Amino acid sequence: MLQGPTFRRGGRRDRSRKTQGGAAADIEPRELSVLLEGGWREWKTAAWLIAVAGRTEFRARLGELLLASEVCIAGRGYCVALACFGTEADAQLLITYLDRYLPRLELHYDQGMALGALLHLDAGLGTDHADRFLRPGGLWKRWTDGPPSKPGYDHEPFEHLGAFALLPDGFCVSWLPAERSRVVAAGRHARVARHDADGARLWSTPAVLDELSFPGCVEISAETNGGARPSKPWKPRTIEAHHWEPLLVSGHRVAATFADGNSGIAVTFFLDTDTGRLVVASRPGPSQHKAISGPGEFLIGSQGYGGFSTARYDPNGAVEQEWPTHAMPLVDRHGKISGPESTNAQPSRSHFVSLDPDGTVHRGPALSGYYTSYPALDNEGTAVFWRAGQLLAVDADFQMRELFALEGEKRSVMSRVILLDQGQLAFALHDELFILRSTGLGPLDSGVWPCADGGLRGNPVAHQ
């Protein structure tokens, strides 16, 4: 079965498809070209827009990207788009891909998706192109029966992938010692590893979560007579890759964060990118948003259990500065840090803030609501984000204006904001895509987070 957006006739999904199809048809070719020059998230988005709008002029480009297979996640979108186009030319592009990659038994790319797309086209065109791949002893059988470690990663059978980042010569990967929500067996630990382009392990470093504690964590039991007291240090029963930015790489430093699956208390392990040497581990805490702030430097936010702060760690793993607030950080090309605060209080006490090098927090306009899209930053220092039913822009002088609003909007699932050429902007709410023109915004800032390599390409890596 082809994986991708599923639509049903006659219901909300069908109406949504028409809405999204109209939005996709409005996007200009150069905007799609810009997306196709980005990272895997942008490639996948572009492929979906091209498929929905039937933009067959991009057929050859999608075929080139599929055949190159630089990022296999995006290849699914290319296959769906070619299947949607529905012509013999699309079938030939899929055949070319399968002829190249099915004989590569060690590679686990998008062979299954491509064959599914070809079968879909065969059904519509009345052809039998897929038959030669599916015959007994054919390429498909040999590929599926090929080396058992298809992805090529050197890991233990009980380990599960936590997160990964693409490096120039391979991958950095965090491995979990058990499946999500499953109790970790004694003697097993999370770890961080670096693999070359073929999956071979270059180094591996354990990330040991032994005894955790945090002042805001309390326990209530018969032993405490129903009262609350600070929790005794505990050993996690389950371990997860942290929900927000679990793996960051900046030059010669890696920041990998693992969390207790029950309490959410997390530890960030800072390692040497070249050797895997553990530089230092952060104090356990309620980690939240994290960011790359410079070469070998990271921002680690904390929120919950009474914690509400942001710390900047230098390349030696020492806390260089700390601020008494937590926000979705933006780091511009001059190193200025700003962003919308993320307090849990209702009514909201959040502001748009900037974090000064001396630890001072400057609070700008107040923000209502709670759920917030990750902001984008233009080269004039204007941040733009969706919050409380409004698309808001806050400039470098803390002047806020509304770009767009939906009355009564309460949806909480949203995409990041993508800033395109000539002030055009795109974001999604649940299953609806919004594209705005003439916003008055400039091009993306070239700062390290999230606008440069640190985030825009969907790969949290900043090269020195």
Structural domain tally of the chain? 1
DSSP, res 396: T
Single-letter amino acid code for the residue at 279:
V
Note the pLDDT of residue 362.
97
- The pLDDT tens digits for 101-131 are 999 987 888 898 899 999 999 999 999 999 9
- Structural domain range at position 67: 12-144
Tokens of 130: 């897929």
Contact yes or no for 426/384 (Cβ under 8 A): no
Structural domain includes residue 435: no
The HSE-up count of residue 158 (CA atoms within 13 Å, CB side) is: 12
Q: Cis peptide leading into 236, omega within 30 of 0?
A: no
The answer to whether residue 62 scores a pLDDT higher than 70 is yes
Its pTM stands at 0.71
Question: Pick the residue with more confidence: 363 or 418?
Answer: 363
The position carrying tokens 């630089």 is 70
pLDDT tens track for 9-61: 333 334 444 444 555 666 788 888 878 877 777 788 888 889 888 899 999 99
List Cβ neighbours of 359 (8 Å cut-off, separation of 6 or more): 321, 322, 323
Query: Is 448 within the bounds of a domain?
Result: no
Give me the pLDDT at residue 196, please.
84
Whether the pLDDT of residue 410 is over 90: the answer is: no
Q: Give the pLDDT score at 153.
A: 56
Confidence of residue 453 (pLDDT cuts 50, 70, 90): low
Instruction: Tell me which residue of 75, 136, 63 sits closest to 111, measured CA to CA.
Output: 75
Q: How confident is the model at residue 71 (pLDDT cuts 50, 70, 90)?
A: low
Q: How far apart are CA 152 and CA 393, in angstroms?
A: 45
Distance CA 55, CA 119 (A): 21
- The CA–CA distances, whole Å, from 280 to 270, 319, 346, 348 equal 5, 11, 36, 36
Structure tokens at 324: 């008494």
Residue with tokens 């699932």: 413
Residue type, 44: K
Structural domain includes residue 163: no
Q: What one-letter code names the amino acid at 69?
A: S
Beta-strand ranges (E) seen in 186-306 are 190-196, 201-207, 218-220, 228-230, 239-241, 247-250, 253-260, 266-272, 278-281, 287-294, 297-304
pLDDT class of 368 with cuts at 50, 70, 90: very high
Strands 330-331 and 337-340: antiparallel
- Assess contact for 387 and 371: CB atoms under 8 A: yes
Question: Does 461 map to a domain?
Answer: no
Residue 285 in domain: no
Residue 139 lies in a domain: yes
Convert the pLDDT of each residue in 185-238 to its tens digit.
999 999 999 988 777 789 999 999 988 999 888 888 777 777 788 888 999 999
